Amino acid sequence: MTDHYQITIQTWKKLAEMYAEKFMDFNIYDESYEAFCSEIGKSDPSILEIGCGPGNVTRWLRKRLPKSTVLATDVATEMIEVAKTYVENVQFEVLDARDIDSLKEKFDAIMSGFCVLYLEKSDLESFIKNSASLLNEQGIIYLSFIEGDYSDSQIQIGKTGDSMKVHYYQESEVNDLFEANSIEPIQSIRVPYPLSDGSEQIHLILLGRKK
C-alpha cells in the first residue's frame, strides 16, 4: 500500500465523528442523489455503496428507497461504526475500494460519493472496471469527485492538522473509462462547494448505465 493511502486512511479513522457532524444533514448533493434513484427505476434495488463514510448518503438512500437492500462499505472501521449508529437495515462491511473485486454478488446500482477522489489514476481505472463487473445489465453507477487536472493532485492538510492526498479528474477522462467498460454516461451534475476562504470548488457527479 502506498504511504499516502495509509496516511489518508488514518485521517478518516480519526475524523469519523467529525465527518458525521458535518455531513449527516448536508443537503447540497440531494439533487444528484435523487437523479441516481430516478435512474435506477425500481423501488427495491440492490445497492452497493463504496466509501460510505459516516453513513450520510446511506441514510438518505434508505429513506428514499426503503425497500432497497444496501451493502455499505468503507475502508475505515471507525467510519463503519459511526454509520451503524445512524442507519438501520443496512449491511455494513469494512472493505478497501481497491478490493471490490472480492465481492461475488451483482447489484442494480453502485453509489460512490467522493471515494475516487482519493484514488490514483491506475486505481481509478481498476475501480471502474471492477464496478462495471459488479453491475447488473442496465445497472446505474454514481461517482462524485472534484473536477480538475490530475496533475494538480496534492496532499491537503485540514484545520485539524491531518492530511490526505486528493486526486482531481476531468469529466471526459472518467467518461472515457465508463465507455471502455461498457458503461454509458447518462448525466453530469456540477455542484459549487463553498470553501472556508470564500471561494468555490466544483464538485462533479457522473451517472452511468451498464450496457
Q: What is the pLDDT of residues 35-68, one digit of tens each?
A: 999 999 999 999 999 999 999 999 999 999 999 9
Q: Which of 114-118, 174-178, 196-200 has the lowest mean pLDDT?
A: 196-200
Mean pLDDT confidence for 2-17: 86
% of the chain exceeding 70 in pLDDT: 99
* C-alpha 167: how far from chain center: 14
| pLDDT for res 192 | 94
Q: What is the pLDDT of residues 161-193, one digit of tens each?
A: 888 999 999 999 999 999 999 999 999 999 999
In this prediction, residue 1 has a pLDDT band, given cuts at 50, 70 and 90, of very low
Query: Exposed (0-12), middle (13-18) or buried (19+): which is 36, by Cβ within 10 Å?
Result: buried
Q: What is the pLDDT of residues 63-109, one digit of tens each?
A: 999 999 999 999 999 999 999 999 999 999 999 999 999 999 999 99
Please, what is the Cα angle at 4 between 193 and 93, to 5 degrees?
75
Q: How far apart are CA 43 and CA 147, in angstroms?
A: 31
In this prediction, residue 4 has a pLDDT band, given cuts at 50, 70 and 90, of confident
Which of the 8 DSSP states describes residue 101? G
Where do the H-state alpha helices sit in 87-170?
121-134
Q: Is 1 helix (H, G, I), strand (E, B) or coil?
A: coil
- Global pTM? 0.95
Cell numbers standing for residue 66: 426503503
Given the candidates 3.20.20.70, 3.55.50.30, 2.60.120.200, 3.40.50.150, the CATH classification of the domain at 3-210 is: 3.40.50.150
| pLDDT for res 87 | 97
Q: List the 200-210 sheet strands across, edge first.
A: 91-94, 69-74, 46-50, 107-113, 135-146, 200-210, 183-194
DSSP 31-75: HHHHHHHHHH--SS-EEEEES-TTSHHHHHHHHH-TT-EEEEEES
Mean pLDDT confidence for 2-16: 86
- Are 182 and 132 in contact by the 8 Å Cβ rule? The answer is yes
Confidence check: pLDDT of 136 > 90: yes
